C-alpha cells in the first residue's frame, strides 16, 4: 500500500480499475496533496498483488480490510470502474469507516439472474481473448465507444506500456472473479446506507452517463457530475476530476 500521510488532513483512499495499479492515481494524488492524505492499494491479481488471489467479492472485501486497517477513519473512498465496485462493497460492509464515496464510471450491478449469466458468459469469452493475444486485446479494448478519444491522448502509449507489465493470465482470472455476473446488485443497499455518494462519468461515455443518471433518481444520497472524457476521466482530465472531487468534499463539510 502506498501512503502519503500528514496529520489533520482529509483522508482519502483510492482504488484502481481492471488492468490497473495504484500508480494510476499518481497525478490525482499530486492534485489532492494540499488538502489530503492519500492511500492507494493494488487489488488482487494486479500490480504488486499479482500473486494474491481471491475467489469472490467477499474475500476481496476482507483483503481490503486488512490493507486499510491502519488508515485513519473515517475516510473518503474513491474507486474507478472495477475499483468503484470494490469500494462500494467495502463501504457497505464497513459503513463506519466511510465519510463519503466517489465512484467514477461504476456499474453497481445487474438486477436479474439472466443478465448476470449473460455477462459472465461474455466475460469468459473476453478472458480467452485477453490470454490469446494481450496486445491485440488492449488495442481492441480501447477502441470501444465508452473510452471516447482516449487513444489520441498524449499519454496513451504510456498507459498501454503500464498495462503490458501485467500478466494476461492473471488478469483473465481477475476478469472472471470480478465479473458483474458474480456481483450483487449494490444500488438498493447503497441507497439504504445513506452514505454520501458522488458518481462521476465522462460525457463521451454515454452508457455510463445513462447508468449514473438512472441511479440518482432512486436515492437522495447519490449525486452525479458529468465531465469531459470517456470512461477513464481521471486519466484524460485529471485536473477537472480533482476539481469536482474537491468541490464535493467542501459541500459535505457544510
Nearest to 101 by CA among 187, 12, 34: 12
Q: What's 72's domain CATH number?
A: 3.40.50.1820
Q: What is the pLDDT of residues 188-225, one digit of tens each?
A: 999 999 999 999 999 999 999 999 999 999 989 999 99
Kindly state whether residue 50 falls inside one of the protein's structural domains.
yes
**pLDDT score of 80:** 98
Kindly state whether residue 101 falls inside one of the protein's structural domains.
yes
Residue pair 64/1 in contact (Cβ under 8 Å)? The answer is no
Kindly state whether residue 69 falls inside one of the protein's structural domains.
yes
Q: What is the pLDDT of residues 176-193, one digit of tens each?
A: 999 999 999 999 999 999
Residue 254 pLDDT class (50, 70, 90 cuts) = low
Kindly state whether residue 47 falls inside one of the protein's structural domains.
yes
Kindly state whether residue 49 falls inside one of the protein's structural domains.
yes
**pLDDT score of 9:** 79
Residue pair 54/177 in contact (Cβ under 8 Å)? The answer is yes
Domain that holds residue 218: 2-110+183-253
Report the number of distinct structural domains present in the chain: 1
Kindly state whether residue 170 falls inside one of the protein's structural domains.
no
**pLDDT score of 182:** 96
Q: What is the pLDDT of residues 19-39, one digit of tens each?
A: 999 999 999 999 999 889 999
Kindly report the pTM of this predicted structure: 0.94
**pLDDT score of 1:** 52
**pLDDT score of 112:** 96
**pLDDT score of 7:** 47
CA triple 153-159-161, angle to 5 deg: 130
* Averaged pLDDT, 90-108: 97
- HEC sequence for the chain: CEEECCCCCEEEEEECCCCCCHHHHHHHHHHHCCCEEEEEECCCCCHHHCCCCCCCHHHHHHHHHHHCCCCCCCEEEEEECHHHHHHHHHHHHCHHHEEEEEEECCCCCCCCHHHHHHHHHHHHHHHHHHHHCHHHHHHHHCCCHHHCCHHHCCCHHHHHHHHHCCCHHHHHHHHHHCCHHHCCCCHHHHHHHCCCEEEEEECCCHHHHHHHHHHHCCCCCEEEEEECCCCCHHHHCHHHHHHHHHHHHHHHHC
pLDDT greater than 70 at residue 131? yes
**pLDDT score of 53:** 85
Kindly state whether residue 192 falls inside one of the protein's structural domains.
yes
Q: What is the pLDDT of residues 44-97, one digit of tens each?
A: 999 999 889 899 999 999 999 999 999 999 999 999 999 999 999 999 999 999
* Averaged pLDDT, 117-138: 97
**pLDDT score of 253:** 67
Residue 5 pLDDT class (50, 70, 90 cuts) = very low
Kindly state whether residue 166 falls inside one of the protein's structural domains.
no
Amino acid at each position: 500500500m502506498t501512503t502519503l500521510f500528514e496529520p489533520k488532513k482529509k483522508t482519502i483512499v483510492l482504488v484502481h480499475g481492471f488492468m490497473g495499479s495504484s500508480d494510476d492515481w499518481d497525478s490525482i494524488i499530486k492534485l489532492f496533496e494540499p488538502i489530503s492524505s492519500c492511500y492507494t492499494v493494488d487489488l488482487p491479481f494486479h500490480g504488486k498483488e499479482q500473486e494474491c488471489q481471491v475467489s469472490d467479492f467477499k474475500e476481496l472485501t476482507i483483503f481490503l480490510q486488512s490493507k486499510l486497517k491502519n488508515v485513519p477513519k473515517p475516510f473518503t473512498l474513491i474507486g474507478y470502474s472495477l475499483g468503484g465496485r470494490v469500494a462500494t462493497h467495502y463501504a457497505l460492509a464497513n459503513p463506519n469507516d466511510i465519510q463519503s464515496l466517489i465512484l467514477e464510471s461504476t456499474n453497481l450491478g445487474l438486477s436479474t439472474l439472466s443478465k448476470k449469466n449473460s455477462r459472465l458468459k461474455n466475460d469468459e469469452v473476453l478472458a480467452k481473448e485477453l490470454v490469446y493475444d494481450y496486445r491485440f486485446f488492449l488495442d481492441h479494448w480501447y477502441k470501444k465507444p465508452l473510452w471516447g478519444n482516449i487513444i489520441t491522448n498524449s499519454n496513451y502509449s504510456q498507459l498501454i506500456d503500464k498495462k503490458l507489465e501485467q500478466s494476461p493470465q492473471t488478469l483473465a482470472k481477475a476478469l472472471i472473479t470480478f465479473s458483474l455476473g458474480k456481483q450483487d446488485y449494490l444500488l438498493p443497499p447503497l441507497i439504504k446506507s445513506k452514505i454520501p455518494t458522488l458518481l462521476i462519468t465522462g460525457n463521451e461515455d454515454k452508457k455510463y452517463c445513462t447508468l449514473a443518471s438512472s441511479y440518482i433518481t432512486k436515492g437522495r444520497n447519490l449525486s452525479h457530475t458529468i465531465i469531459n472524457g470517456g470512461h477513464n476521466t481521471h486519466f484524460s482530465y485529471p485536473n477537472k476530476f480533482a476539481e469536482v472531487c474537491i468541490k464535493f468534499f467542501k459541500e459535505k463539510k457544510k
